[in-house]
Amino acid sequence: MLEEKRLIWELKQGSNDALRRIYMEYKDNLLTIAASMLHDTYAAEDVLHDVFVSFAGSIGNIQLRGSLKSYLTASVINRVRDMYRKKRHHLVELEEAGQLASDFDGPVRSAEFGEDAGRLTDALARLPFEQRETIVLHLNGGIKFKEIARMQRIPLSTVQGRYRYGLDKLRTILKERAKK
């Protein structure tokens, strides 16, 4: 935390090196979170890009309340939500037409995740957005339920419920697929 504050300080002086260090520290984890949520690696890279450009551009106004990791993770999730809302109208239309398999069926570079992991992200994409978000934030982002509840302004019990139901559903989906 302390080194983070110093990095932020240096960043506020315009230090490219501080920005590079922060980026290198968190990029892969943030990309994984965005890709797990979006099921679209290219869109995930765009989210990562937008998050860091926005972070760098508004550094003078940023006041960290928690950790830098939480801040960046929340930024990623907010971008994903925006993207989700925009696509949702289109997805609803597809769903009504019976063409919807999952929230996002973008060009996932499944090979980069590996075969098993690819199946897992496919299954994740079939979860309701809120459940997927909670699972990804907790397991990929390493964020505690309490912090997720604070970030999303919802009760802790709701977060825990979403997580539990999400995992149950995920297990069901994977079992069904294993039978096929």
> Of 120, 155, 154, whose CA–CA distance to 136 is shortest?
120
Residue 20 makes contact with other proteins by CB under 8 A:
yes
Structure tokens at 98: 């019976």
- Is there binding between residue 105 and other proteins (CB under 8 A)? no
Q: Examine residue 60 and tell whether it contacts other proteins (CB under 8 A).
A: yes
Q: Lay out the site mask for other proteins across 145-174 (x = CB under 8 A, - = otherwise).
A: ----------------------xx-xx--x
Q: Which residue in the set 136, 148, 151, 159 belongs to the binding site for other proteins (CB under 8 A)?
A: 136
Q: Does 121 bind other proteins (CB under 8 A)?
A: yes
Handedness of CA 114, 69, 162, 160 (dihedral sign): positive
Q: Find tokens 């696509």 and name the residue.
A: 87
Which residues, 6+ apart, have CB-to-CB distance to 12 below 8 Å?
59, 60
Interacting residues of 8 by C-beta distance below 8 A, sequence separation 6+: 18, 59, 62, 64, 68
Residue 176 contacts other proteins per CB under 8 A: no
Q: Looking only at residues 32 through 51 of this chain, which bind other proteins when binding is defined by CB under 8 A? A: 32, 35-36, 41, 44-45, 48-49
Q: Is 71 in the site for other proteins (CB under 8 A)?
A: no
Distance separating alpha carbons of residues 152 and 74, to the nearest angstrom: 9
Whether 38 and 106 have beta carbons less than 8 Å apart is answered as yes
Q: Residue 47 or residue 151: which is nearer to other proteins going by CB? A: 47
Residue 161 Cβ vs other proteins, minimum distance, rounded to whole Å:
15
> Amino acid letter at 67?
S
Residue 130 token pair = 């809120």
Q: How many residues are there in the chain? A: 180
- Does 69 bind other proteins (CB under 8 A)? Our answer is yes
Q: Which residues in this chain contact other proteins in the complex, by CB under 8 A?
A: 1-7, 9-16, 18-23, 25-28, 31-32, 35-36, 41, 44-45, 48-49, 52-61, 68-69, 112-113, 116-117, 120-121, 124, 135-136, 139-140, 167-168, 170-171, 174-175, 178
